[in-house]
């Protein structure tokens, strides 16, 4: 059976696609080296439209409006500019209610597009542009350590990582966020209170990487002004050993925190495409390491994360595959015998395993 | 459409679900079509293996290894048609439910007339209604336009006006939709379906065909004020849904080609099969099918030719669980648990399962949480479906109409380790009233048979006659307002061999009348205190019943079923019921 892979790697070459929500202009060229904060593409988003009913304002039939319109599609107009006027002794005028661009005329109406903000797509990771994806974005190649998570709040930033964790089982105490951590990306344990996000926002931290999150704080995490990456999930769950080792041994390094995962239901982000939310630790190399493998089938000897929903997940090694084995609760399904880190041996459904690699 | 064995031969049916891709093989054995075997693979729509075709290939390989039948050549290509050496398969059909709910805008003239009908149409597919616009909409034109652009719908469903009726008002709404779509970027323009006043079809085509990514004009869903006709539009919507998914997942095109164009949304295929069964079982039979999937719960109710198809994407047992508490409460889910546990455990399970929709409960505690969620979601789906039914099919008290049989599928049911657990989930979630038979689609074949009927009308009938579905139990659910503990029905079960058993069932009880699998019996029902056993209030009668390992079930726990508010009492009762049906 095809196995889901989760990457927790001390050194790898990764390819990451960065996309804008709409088409725009690609600024960085293929082959160009980029830093995380470099803008690689930009587009205008959030435009509003004003529909002006010229026929009604001039009090004339729709079919007659065209000859009274004084502007053309594509034309820029300023507030107060003349859009249309009727003739005669008692002729009327229609003027632009705001600055904007004429985007449509017809059926007795004029549509002005106004406002909008420039969306700048940052590289997010330091690397080399290898491909432009139409007018939507780019692909970047980079080398370093990577730890993937399961949930992100849709934001991205770059900064120095500092740990406030003492063990993988740690609970993130809000008081641990002090002024010395201003502007840093923080590695913490389970978040139980909203105060963690409040303190982090007050001290303008650049991001949080946490083992787990109380689901009641989902909204607070989503609205946090900085990226939030959850490595294990919801409810109190310790950080997996591999991720804890990798991250806690790389504190004080610059890291890229990409919690920009697609959000299918507008409720919870989850990995899609090649974009699991992740933390990336750029590392200099003399020779590029290989890209991580992207597909694997379950086999004995694999290091796996055993997911439990009602209790913390654990890590172990597959001893043997057991087709249609009966679980302790009576369900029969394709399973594996797994030896956990503490030596305990359990039977786990293959659907509940993720290969670490 | 072939209706003979000569034309049909073997068939591979593929279902690409939100979590699992399944491949079923059907062939002729001793002159009859039979279900031969099923292969599975996780659906490959995420991660680096983001190509649905890979999952299909792996499911077929799994099927190959289970059946010993070679279906794929050395290069991994499906062998269609079958080869002289016996390898391969003669045809393929596909259903799918994979993908996020389709963002849908509904447009109608009057909220209680055409808008209501077009909303019902939207509920017949994997859609999420993001906005609705009607004549009564208080927003200014540019507010409507900006809202549509902000929602960026993938699908716009439009109805309005009876045939031969008003046209100017619907034209104004069309102008709003057309302008909004025109202002959207080329690649983001929605597909559109018009099912309103047919006199406007020409002008609608002229106004929207160049703006919509695809435009379908179909018969009016409200041809007259009192007439609602969703059937023809449902067929067109199924086709449009497929095309939208294909734009999102271009590899569906490969599956479409392999399937000779026979590809349908699973829920539509399920509905098609249920409608067929409603006719097959006889004109007076009302048939209900339930599919509890990872991406949605689908309920297809057929009243003869009249199909009411309801898809509830927010009640799926996978990713949608993260949003479930918008529709229910933790307490309402936890009330179904036959054991004590902190409510936070249930809450964490919901959110964590949304991250791991393929997850299989690994402990007894998790199994009960999963089944509690399934009960609550089924209950909410059923309640909504009943409210949407036309008045002529609804009964007093908003109870489920009398369906015979009720077919049920979905992993939460088929994975349940005991028949009793499957039965209780269905009884608690659906709360049928009167006399019904519960049938388990234990291989989740129904939608596959529905799409197979597109190419071979004989296959579904013969496969079902051969026992592809598992008979679960006959259930009698009396409706009564008698006090708890009061006798409400006397029953007498007279077996074929002449032996009989009698029993008096009290209000609040769940009772099993033993009748072995395959045995038939006559069940006499004498209601007390004006209870309705499905024959009318206070009316006695007799029905023929078939035995199963669960026997014949008398569910006198009340309709609607009310659980004790006290947690200890409730858990004790739930445990007792579980024990009654075998644990």
Average the pLDDT over each of A100-104, A208-212, B303-307 and give the range with the smallest value.
Answer: B303-307
Size of interface A-B (CB pairs under 8 A): 159
Residue B350 touches partner A, C-beta closer than 8 Å: yes
By Cβ distance, the residue of B41, B182, B323 closest to A104 is B182
Q: Would B371 be classed as within a structural domain?
A: no
The answer on B227 and B115 residing in a single domain is yes
For A1, the closest chain B residue by CA position comes to: B41
CB spacing of B355 vs A151 below 8 angstroms: yes
The CA distance from A179 to the nearest CA of chain B, in Å, is 33
Q: DSSP states of B362-431 as a string?
A: -SHHHHHHHHHHHHHHHHHHHHHHHHHS-GGG--GGGPPP--SSEEEE-HHHHT-SSHHHHHHHHHHHH-
The answer on B518 and B483 residing in a single domain is yes
Q: Which residues of A touch B141 (CB under 8 A)?
A: 51, 53
* Residue B447 pLDDT > 90: yes
Can you tell me the mean pLDDT for A254-274? Answer: 57
Q: DSSP states of B536-551 as a string?
A: SBT--EEEEEE--TT-
CB spacing of B354 vs A268 below 8 angstroms: yes
Average the pLDDT over each of A264-278, B135-149, B490-504 and give the range with the smallest value.
Answer: A264-278
Sign of CA dihedral A67, A68, A73, A75: positive
Q: Which residues of A touch B58 (CB under 8 A)?
A: 2
Residue B578 touches partner A, C-beta closer than 8 Å: no
Domain end call among A243, A259, A282: A282
Give the tens place of pLDDT for each residue, B122-176.
999 999 999 999 999 999 999 999 999 999 999 999 998 888 887 888 999 999 9
Can you tell me the mean pLDDT for A287-297? Answer: 86
Domain end call among A224, A256, A282: A282
By Cβ distance, the residue of A111, A113, A276 closest to B179 is A111
CB spacing of B47 vs A50 below 8 angstroms: no
A110 — pLDDT class (breaks 50, 70, 90): very high
CB spacing of A328 vs B48 below 8 angstroms: no
The answer on A278 and A252 residing in a single domain is yes
The answer on A234 and A199 residing in a single domain is yes
The answer on B241 and B124 residing in a single domain is yes
Q: Would B535 be classed as within a structural domain?
A: yes
- Give me the domain span that covers residue B118: 102-248
- Tokens 């084995």 sit at which residue? A325
The answer on B230 and B134 residing in a single domain is yes
For A270, the closest chain B residue by CA position comes to: B355
Whole-number pLDDT of residue B305? 85
By Cβ distance, the residue of A53, A264, A328 closest to B100 is A264
A275 — pLDDT class (breaks 50, 70, 90): low
Whole-number pLDDT of residue B165? 82
Residue B416 touches partner A, C-beta closer than 8 Å: yes
Q: Which residues of B touch A333 (CB under 8 A)?
A: 360, 415
Domain end call among B45, B63, B98: B98
The answer on B112 and B91 residing in a single domain is no
For residue A230, the surrounding DSSP H or E stretch is: strand A228-234
> In whole angstroms, what is the distance from residue B389 CA to residue B506 CA?
32
Predicted structure pTM score: 0.93
Whole-number pLDDT of residue B47? 63
CB spacing of A351 vs B46 below 8 angstroms: no
Comparing C-alpha atoms, which of A192, A169, A351, A191 is closest to residue B370? A351
Residue B245 touches partner A, C-beta closer than 8 Å: no
pLDDT cut 90: percent of chain A above it: 80
By Cβ distance, the residue of B49, B351, B369 closest to A295 is B49
Q: What angle do CA B574, B578, B583 make, to 5 degrees?
A: 145
Domain end call among B73, B98, B123: B98
> In whole angstroms, what is the distance from residue B318 CA to residue B358 CA?
7
Q: What CATH number is given to the structural domain containing B72?
A: 3.30.420.40
Can you tell me the mean pLDDT for A189-211? Answer: 97
The answer on A185 and A323 residing in a single domain is no
The answer on A232 and A98 residing in a single domain is no
Comparing C-alpha atoms, which of B373, B237, B379, B368 is closest to residue B294? B373
CB spacing of B149 vs A49 below 8 angstroms: yes
Residue B358 touches partner A, C-beta closer than 8 Å: yes
Q: Which two tokens stand for residue B236?
A: 């067109």
> In whole angstroms, what is the distance from residue A346 CA to residue B396 CA?
52
Q: Would A287 be classed as within a structural domain?
A: no
* Residue B204 pLDDT > 50: yes
* Residue B4 pLDDT > 70: no
Give the tens place of pLDDT for each residue, B314-333.
999 999 999 999 999 999 99
By Cβ distance, the residue of A103, A274, A311 closest to B48 is A274
Residue B181 touches partner A, C-beta closer than 8 Å: no
CB spacing of B146 vs A331 below 8 angstroms: no
Total domains in the fold of chain B: 3
Sign of CA dihedral B309, B310, B313, B318: negative
Q: Would B287 be classed as within a structural domain?
A: no
pLDDT cut 90: percent of chain B above it: 84
Whole-number pLDDT of residue A292? 87
Q: Would A101 be classed as within a structural domain?
A: yes
Q: Would B23 be classed as within a structural domain?
A: yes
Can you tell me the mean pLDDT for B252-273? Answer: 95
By Cβ distance, the residue of B58, B185, B322 closest to A267 is B322
The answer on A192 and A71 residing in a single domain is no
The CA distance from B560 to the nearest CA of chain A, in Å, is 30
Q: Would B141 be classed as within a structural domain?
A: yes
Q: Which residues of A touch B175 (CB under 8 A)?
A: 107
Q: Would B345 be classed as within a structural domain?
A: no
Q: What angle do CA A228, A232, A236 make, to 5 degrees?
A: 95
CB spacing of B362 vs A5 below 8 angstroms: no
Whole-number pLDDT of residue B2? 46
The answer on A167 and A18 residing in a single domain is yes
Can you tell me the mean pLDDT for B541-547? Answer: 95
CB spacing of A331 vs B360 below 8 angstroms: yes
Give the tens place of pLDDT for each residue, A10-49.
999 999 989 888 889 999 999 999 999 999 999 998 889 9
Whole-number pLDDT of residue B1? 47
Total domains in the fold of chain A: 3
Q: Would A14 be classed as within a structural domain?
A: yes
Best of A1, A111, A309 to substitute, by most chain B Cβ atoms within 10 angstroms, is: A309
Q: Which residues of A touch B46 (CB under 8 A)?
A: 271-273
Q: Which residues of A touch B48 (CB under 8 A)?
A: 5, 274, 294-295
The answer on A346 and A236 residing in a single domain is no
Whole-number pLDDT of residue B48? 60
By Cβ distance, the residue of A151, A215, A294 closest to B347 is A215
The answer on B244 and B106 residing in a single domain is yes
The answer on A220 and A184 residing in a single domain is yes
* Residue B528 pLDDT > 60: yes
Can you tell me the mean pLDDT for B413-422? Answer: 96
Comparing C-alpha atoms, which of A190, A312, A231, A343 is closest to residue B363? A312
The CA distance from A181 to the nearest CA of chain B, in Å, is 30
Whole-number pLDDT of residue A324? 94
Can you tell me the mean pLDDT for A319-335? Answer: 96
For B180, the closest chain A residue by CA position comes to: A49
Q: Average model confidence (pLDDT) for chain B?
A: 93
Q: Which residues of A touch B188 (CB under 8 A)?
A: 22
Q: Which of residues 317-346 of B touch A (CB under 8 A)?
A: 319-320, 322-323, 344-345
Can you tell me the mean pLDDT for A233-240? Answer: 95
Q: Which residues of B touch A49 (CB under 8 A)?
A: 142, 145-146, 149, 183
CB spacing of A327 vs B149 below 8 angstroms: no
* Residue A273 pLDDT > 60: no
The answer on A185 and A251 residing in a single domain is yes
Q: Would B306 be classed as within a structural domain?
A: no
* Residue B520 pLDDT > 60: yes
Output DSSP code: residue A183: T
B504 — pLDDT class (breaks 50, 70, 90): very high
Tally of helices (H runs) and strands (E runs) in chain B: 17, 22
CB spacing of A218 vs B100 below 8 angstroms: no
The CA distance from A271 to the nearest CA of chain B, in Å, is 7
Can you tell me the mean pLDDT for A182-207? Answer: 97
The answer on B575 and B477 residing in a single domain is yes
CB spacing of B320 vs A265 below 8 angstroms: yes
* Residue B580 pLDDT > 60: yes
B397 — pLDDT class (breaks 50, 70, 90): confident
Whole-number pLDDT of residue B8? 56
- Give me the domain span that covers residue A342: 296-356
Whole-number pLDDT of residue B451? 96
* Residue B5 pLDDT > 50: no
Domain end call among B39, B71, B98: B98
* Residue A308 pLDDT > 60: yes
CB spacing of B362 vs A234 below 8 angstroms: no
Q: In sequence order, what are the residues at sequence separation of 6 or more whose Cβ sits closer than 8 angstroms to the Cβ of residue B317?
A: B292, B293, B294, B353, B357, B370, B373, B374, B377, B410, B411, B412
For residue B288, cis peptide bond before it (omega within 30 degrees of 0): no
CB spacing of A150 vs B46 below 8 angstroms: no
Q: Would B419 be classed as within a structural domain?
A: no
């Amino acid at each position: 059976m095809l196995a889901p892979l989760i990457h927790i790697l001390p050194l790898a070459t990764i390819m990451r696609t960065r996309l804008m929500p709409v088409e725009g202009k690609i600024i960085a060229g293929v082959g160009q080296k980029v830093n995380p904060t470099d803008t690689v593409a930009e587009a205008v988003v959030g435009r509003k439209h004003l529909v002006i009913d010229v026929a009604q304002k001039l009090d004339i039939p729709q079919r007659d409006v065209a000859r009274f319109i004084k502007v053309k599609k594509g034309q820029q107009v300023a507030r107060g500019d003349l859009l249309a006027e009727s003739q005669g002794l008692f002729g009327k005028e229609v003027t632009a209610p705001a600055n904007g661009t004429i985007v449509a005329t017809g059926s007795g109406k004029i549509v002005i597009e106004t406002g909008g903000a420039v969306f700048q797509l940052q590289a997010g990771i330091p690397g080399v542009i290898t491909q432009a994806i139409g007018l939507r974005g780019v692909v970047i190649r980079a080398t370093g350590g990577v730890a993937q998570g399961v949930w992100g709040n849709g934001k991205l930033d770059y900064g120095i990582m500092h740990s406030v964790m003492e063990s993988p089982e740690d609970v993130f105490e809000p008081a641990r966020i002090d002024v010395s951590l201003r502007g840093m990306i923080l590695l913490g344990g389970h978040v139980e209170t909203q105060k963690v996000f409040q303190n982090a926002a007050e001290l303008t931290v650049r991001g949080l990487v946490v083992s787990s999150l109380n689901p009641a704080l989902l909204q607070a995490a989503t609205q946090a002004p900085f990226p939030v990456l959850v490595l294990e999930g919801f409810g109190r769950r310790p950080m997996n050993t591999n991720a804890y080792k990798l991250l806690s041994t790389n504190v004080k390094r610059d890291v890229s925190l990409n919690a920009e995962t697609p959000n299918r239901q507008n409720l919870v982000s989850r990995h899609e495409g090649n974009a699991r939310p992740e933390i990336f630790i750029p590392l200099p190399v003399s020779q590029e390491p290989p890209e991580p493998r992207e597909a694997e089938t379950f086999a004995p000897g694999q290091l796996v994360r055993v997911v439990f929903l009602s209790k913390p997940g654990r890590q172990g090694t597959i001893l043997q595959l057991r087709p249609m084995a009966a679980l302790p609760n009576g369900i029969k399904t394709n399973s594996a015998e797994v030896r956990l880190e503490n030596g305990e041996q359990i039977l786990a459904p293959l659907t509940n395993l993720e290969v670490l690699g | 459409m072939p209706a003979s064995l000569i034309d049909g031969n073997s068939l591979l049916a593929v279902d690409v679900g939100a979590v699992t891709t399944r491949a079923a093989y059907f062939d002729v054995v001793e002159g009859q079509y039979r279900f031969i075997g099923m292969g599975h693979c996780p659906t490959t729509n995420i991660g680096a293996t983001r190509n649905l075709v890979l999952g299909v290939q792996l499911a077929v390989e799994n099927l190959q290894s289970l059946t010993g039948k070679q279906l794929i050549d050395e290069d991994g290509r499906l062998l269609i048609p079958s080869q002289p050496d016996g390898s391969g398969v003669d045809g393929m059909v596909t259903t799918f439910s994979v993908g996020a709910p389709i963002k849908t805008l509904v447009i109608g003239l009057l909220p209680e007339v055409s808008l209501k009908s077009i909303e019902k149409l939207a509920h017949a597919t994997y859609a999420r209604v993001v906005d609705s616009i009607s004549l009564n909409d208080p927003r200014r034109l540019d507010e409507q336009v900006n809202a549509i652009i902000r929602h960026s719908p993938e699908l716009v469903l439009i109805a309005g006006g009876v045939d031969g009726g008003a046209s100017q008002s619907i034209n104004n709404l069309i102008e709003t939709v057309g302008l909004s779509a025109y202002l959207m970027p080329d690649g983001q323009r929605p597909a559109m379906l018009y099912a309103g006043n047919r006199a406007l079809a020409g002008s609608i085509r002229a106004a929207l065909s160049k703006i919509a990514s695809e435009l379908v004009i179909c018969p009016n869903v409200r041809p007259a004020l009192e007439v609602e006709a969703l059937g023809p539009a449902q067929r067109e919507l199924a086709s449009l849904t497929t095309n939208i998914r294909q734009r999102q997942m271009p590899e569906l095109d490969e599956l479409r080609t392999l399937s000779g164009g026979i590809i349908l949304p699973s829920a539509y295929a399920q509905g098609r099969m249920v409608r067929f069964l409603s006719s097959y079982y006889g004109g007076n039979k009302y048939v209900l099918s339930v599919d509890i999937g990872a991406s949605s719960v689908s309920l297809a109710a057929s009243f003869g030719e009249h199909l009411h198809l309801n898809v509830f994407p927010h009640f799926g047992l996978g990713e949608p669980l993260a949003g479930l508490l918008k529709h229910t409460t933790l307490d309402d889910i936890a009330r179904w648990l036959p054991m004590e546990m902190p409510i936070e455990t249930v809450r964490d399970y919901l959110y964590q399962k949304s991250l791991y929709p393929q997850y299989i409960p690994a402990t007894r505690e998790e199994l009960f949480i999963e089944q509690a969620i399934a009960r609550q979601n089924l209950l909410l789906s059923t309640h909504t479906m009943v409210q949407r039914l036309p008045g002529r099919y609804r009964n007093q008290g908003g109870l489920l109409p009398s369906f015979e049989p009720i077919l049920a599928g979905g992993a939460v049911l088929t994975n349940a380790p005991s028949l009793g657990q499957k039965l209780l989930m269905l009884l608690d979630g659906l709360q049928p009233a009167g006399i019904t038979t519960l049938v388990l689609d234990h291989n989740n074949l129904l939608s596959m048979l529905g799409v197979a009927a597109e190419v071979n009308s004989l296959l579904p009938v013969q496969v079902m006659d051969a026992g592809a579905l598992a008979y679960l139990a006959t259930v009698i659910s009396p409706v009564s307002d008698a006090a708890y503990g009061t006798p409400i029905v006397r029953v007498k079960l007279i077996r074929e061999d002449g032996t009989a058993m009698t029993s008096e069932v009290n209000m609040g009880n769940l009772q099993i009348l033993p009748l072995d699998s395959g045995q038939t019996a006559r069940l006499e029902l004498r209601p007390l205190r004006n209870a309705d056993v499905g024959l009318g209030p206070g009316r006695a009668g007799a029905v023929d019943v078939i035995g199963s390992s669960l026997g014949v079930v008398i569910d006198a726990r009340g309709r609607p079923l009310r659980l004790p508010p006290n947690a200890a009492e409730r858990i004790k009762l739930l445990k007792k019921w579980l024990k009654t049906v075998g644990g």
